[in-house]
Amino acid sequence: MLKKEMEEALNEQLKWELYSAYLYLSMAAYFEDIGLEGFAHWMKAQTAEELMHAMKFYKFIFERDGRVILQEIPKPPSEWESPEAVFEFAYKHEQEVTSRINKLMSLAKKLEDYATENFLNWFVEEQVEEEASFKALLNKLKLIKNDPQALFYLDKELSQRPLDLNLLMTQV
């Protein structure tokens, strides 16, 4: 059974994961608007991944006899100066998510909640991957600057990211 403090913290993280999905969907809309469908596709895949993360928290809270309390999700930004600015924002966002996961892990350790600590280990590893993928794309965008030909090549590359909505459904 979850202690109240842990339950509240997990619900806050559930909200944050849903906000992440909302943010990446907003980024997808931005990319569609400027004609970069591959970038938009990549962000839609990221949106689905964040929804899957949210559902992991949702399911875990119930499995531990907790109560899910959905909270208001803030409106994400919708305008950026460039694709590079989008990925700079997203990379900083992922660093914030990592910080939040680390705080949850610290709380689980403090409360001697070993089941939650074990659950969070997956997210600790996932955040390493998340930050690395955003940083790699940000580095590519910094290298190509605003070269249209390179940008369109990267757009084509990003359109190849698998978008598996079945993965999301396995978490329900």
Beta carbons of 32 and 109 less than 8 angstroms apart: no
Greatest alpha-carbon span in the chain:
55
Q: Which residue has the tokens 């962000």?
A: 43
- Give 49-58 pLDDT, tens digit per residue: 999 999 999 9
> What mean pLDDT do residues 133-157 have?
95
Measured between alpha carbons, how far is 126 from 141 in angstroms, rounded to an integer?
23
Beta carbons of 64 and 2 less than 8 angstroms apart: yes
Measured between alpha carbons, how far is 61 from 4 in angstroms, rounded to an integer?
11
Beta carbons of 40 and 58 less than 8 angstroms apart: no
**What are the sequence ranges of the domains in the chain?**
4-70+79-169
The answer, yes or no, to whether residue 40 has pLDDT greater than 70, is yes
Grade residue 166 by pLDDT with cuts at 50, 70 and 90: low
Grade residue 105 by pLDDT with cuts at 50, 70 and 90: very high
Q: 159 phi and psi, to 5 degrees?
A: -70, -10
Instruction: Compute CA distances 107 → 42, 90, 121, whole Å.
Output: 33, 26, 13
* Helical pair 4-33 and 37-63, crossing angle rounded to 10 deg: 170
Structural fold of domain 4-70+79-169 = Ferritin (1.20.1260)
Whole-model pTM: value is 0.93
Grade residue 163 by pLDDT with cuts at 50, 70 and 90: confident
Instruction: Compute CA distances 63 → 5, 39, 171, whole Å.
Output: 16, 36, 12
pLDDT at 146: 81
Q: Which residue has the tokens 């913290």?
A: 9
The answer, yes or no, to whether residue 131 has pLDDT greater than 90, is yes
Using DSSP, state whether 159 is helix, strand or coil: coil
